[in-house]
Amino acid sequence: MVTLAWLVVLIVVVMTLAYHRAPLWLSTLAVAGYLAAVHLLSPPPIVIMGILWALFLAAAVLLNLAPLRRKLISNRVKTWFSRRSPHLSATERQALGAGTVWWDAELFSGRPRWKSLLRQPKPALSQAERAFLEGPTEELCRMLDEWRITETHRDLPPAVWNFLKEQGFMGLIIPTEYGGKGFSAYAHSQILVKVGSRSPTAGVTISVPNSLGPAELLLHHGTAEQREYYLPKLARGEEIPCFALTGPEAGSDAAAIPDYGVVCRGEHEGREIIGLRLNWDKRYITLAPVATLLGLAFKVYDPEQLLGGDYQRGISIALIPSTTPGVDIGHRHRPLEAAFMNGPTRGRNVFIPLDWVIGGEAGIGQGWQMLMNCLAAGRAISLPANACGTAQLATAVSGAYARIRRQFKRPISDFEGIQELLARMGGNTYMLDAARTLTTRAIDQGQKPAVLSAIVKYQLTERSRRILNDAMDIHAGKSICLGPNNYLARFFQSAPIPITVEGSNLLTRNMIIFGQGALRCHPFLLKEINAAGSTAPDAEKAFDRAFFGHIGLLASNKIRSVVLGVTDGRIVLTHGAPELRRHYQRLTRAAAAFAFVADMTLITQGAALKRRERLSARLGDALSALYLASAVLKRYENEGREQLDLPMVDWAVATLLYESQQALHETLRNFPNRPLGRLLRALVFPLGRRYQKPNDVLDRQVAELLTKPTASRDRLTSAMFRATDPDDPIARLEKTFTLLVSAAPIEQKLQAAERAGQLRFAPGIDPVQAALAAGIIDPGEAERLGEAIRMRQSVIMVDEFAASTPIKSLPGPV
């Protein structure tokens, strides 16, 4: 019995060492010390002790003597691993090499260091950035009327185009030495949120020159001459850029573009030079119809070896003036009737000099790497910012409208069905903006978070679309009747567009987030793959270190998954706000579970995981939920731990914990090796699945924050544009909302009088005047309530058009 107790204690010691990830040498010393103490204090039978010492010494020698370990274990594993690991193409290796890893690596480790996240500085604007946001950006928003833009102009009005150029909106990311604004990623994002909450057309138009376009590529990869020539012109809006990557035969598989350039001799500006003869066919190119400068991605071939080297030189990017002979800018596309400029471009036998390639001759073949490097950061800014602008607008107007609109003599915000939608909108909007600000702040600190940028692009555009769906349901008939007073419809029409660009959301979810994240963020996997495929002298040592590091990580996460699963994370020490303690603990538990399941999936599936898209998607969902929840906690800490916001924080974290749990559950339920899947489910969920969706009480608390003029509502929608023009439909909505809330006690007097039989309302009788005549309210109260009722009637009305009103069609060629 004593011997069994010693063995149990030994197991506990080993598990404790694994839980805390003690290094191998320390674990060896600890176990040796434990066995020695047992031998001296209460020695078990000599045979048992001898067996324990023999097993320990054999393992200690084998694992701690690296040459012996490599010879007997890791070199053999290396051979097996090289056959099982996924083959990486050149484009895949370039994508994996792009950008940096940051908090995503902490989540992949299974042991996120929350202190590191909490130490990250709060996002802040410089004086110049704040002045631009409060000055030209506000003025621009006042100039924008999305109904007129889409219905009348079918484009931004000329005055708006001129304003964008004159005020520097086209050069937000271009450094001041080239005439640009040189703004931070956070400021760039804040500007787009505000503009995007006012006009999808303007938001997209500003995004392109400041996103994956010639300016960003030139900044990071252009020659000095190219930067000096083009960047000032781009900053002033003298050149309008577009970037052409997608074509009819290359959408999600962008690396397979058929567009090509052949190295040859040709004539340029009256002299013969070596250049490129290009042929291309591109579509879906934003700003192409008005672009003066075309950024073009294509493959280069050198059949005559005029440049030396290989026949196939790879993907390259060139800057081509749209007036170049052979360049054809097609007619406009009509992306769901959105008014931003978008269309095809084609080129036939277009000859260009080599120095039009970004980076010059040295840039030939480097185009894919350039794109991946720029996407690693840029994908986290433009589309997520516009999504947040849409979400804040939809949430603000829906909370106000739900309080204004009445059915069954009550505001519809009193009904639980509406509260469910409002809670979902408020919680998701808080979540979206938290992820946006955290990611842009990381970029400003020098990070290029390739995996996190894919997460925020996918998650924010998808959740913004769901928020719009809920807003449409709350507004009901008002939201489906087009007209100047419909402030949602054009956003709703445009919602699917960002889902399809900069990597479609289907591709991003099913292949990129976990597919790239597993290799890029895992502490050891990419090192193992690189070492396994290498013949370098130190490859065996490199593989040995990575492999045994991986084994230690896997063992630790297995122990942590079980221990934290049993305790629901209660043993985890936390460092953030006390009221968030259980959130930090549960997210730590969820991270350990994710890391363990991810590792077991990678080990068992190997290269086959490329074909297991749904496994990859679910693991990507779990990782995404953990990142969004981390951002929610960081936002609450950054904003001074505002207690009023806690319902939204609790709602968001509860939702994300549930989503992460379900993603792991579905992964294991569909695990290719069913017995192993059941075993892993028992280890990850030792007491079953614990996390539930937010309950009705929490839904109601979040909804109430949106249907009253609270500080929490103001913080939630602080980045959107606030219209003040009394003729603006959203300004009228907000004024009516404020009036009705302030007049609520007066309405309650009337309702109480009616219930007491003091008032009887007959058809055609003004209830306010009847209450005034009965002395139930005074003249001031009657005036306030009467104005509120008149404003309410104005807000709920929809636009009417004569039956003969023609339906216009977009113009053809541009």
Report the C-alpha gap between 782 and 706 in whole angstroms.
Answer: 27
Q: Is 198 helix (H, G, I), strand (E, B) or coil?
A: coil
Query: What does the DSSP 8-state code read for residue 355?
Result: G
Amino acid at 236: R
- Tell me the β-bridge partners of 301: 262, 312
Nearest to 661 by CA among 612, 597, 713, 721: 597
Q: Is 446 exposed, middle or buried (0-12, 13-18, 19+ CB in 10 A)?
A: exposed
Cα-Cα-Cα-Cα torsion 169, 171, 172, 173, nearest 10 degrees, comes to 160
- Element at 671 (helix H, strand E): none
Is the distance from CB of 500 to CB of 251 less than 8 angstroms?
Answer: no
Cross-strand partners of 319: 295
Q: In this structure, what token pair is assigned to residue 230?
A: 């083009």
Between the alpha carbon of residue 212 and those of residues 135, 248, 288, 722, 756, the distances in Å are 26, 20, 14, 29, 67
Task: Tell me if 83 sits within 8 A of 66, measured CB to CB.
Answer: no
d(CA 406, CA 324): 61
Closest CA to 255 of 89, 373, 458, 100: 89
Distance CA 403, CA 690 (A): 35
Residues 6+ apart with CB under 8 A from 64: 24, 25, 28
Count other C-beta atoms under 10 Å from residue 365's C-beta: 21
Q: How far is CA 48 from the centre of its chain?
A: 57
Contact 533, 519 (CB under 8 A): no
Q: List C-alpha distances in Å: 386 to 134, 173, 198, 467, 785.
A: 18, 17, 10, 13, 38
What's the one-letter identity of residue 96?
L
Phi, psi of 346 (to 5 degrees): -135, 155
Q: Cα–Cα distance between 583 and 603 in angstroms, integer? A: 30
Which two three-digit tokens encode residue 566?
Answer: 């049993």
Candidates 265, 376, 252, 242; CA nearest to 317 is 242
CB atoms within 10 A of CB 92: 17
Q: Is 103 buried (19+), middle (13-18) or exposed (0-12) by CB count in 10 A?
A: buried
**90-97 vs 513-521: helix crossing angle, rounded to 10:** 70
User: What's the N-to-C CA distance of the chain in angstroms?
Assistant: 89
Contact 592, 569 (CB under 8 A): no
Tokens of 135: 């000055």
Bridge partners, residue 244, by sequence = 296
Query: What is the torsional sign of CA 304, 306, 311, 314?
Result: negative
**Can 502 be counted among the known catalytic residues?**
yes
Pairing of strands 293-301, 241-244: parallel
**Rounded Cα distance, 202 and 222, in Å:** 28
Rg of the chain, C-alpha, whole Å: 31
> Exposed, middle or buried: residue 309 (CB in 10 Å: 0-12, 13-18, 19+)?
exposed
Paired residues of 264 in beta bridges: 275
Catalytic residue among 502, 528, 659, 704: 502
**Catalytic residue ranges:** 502
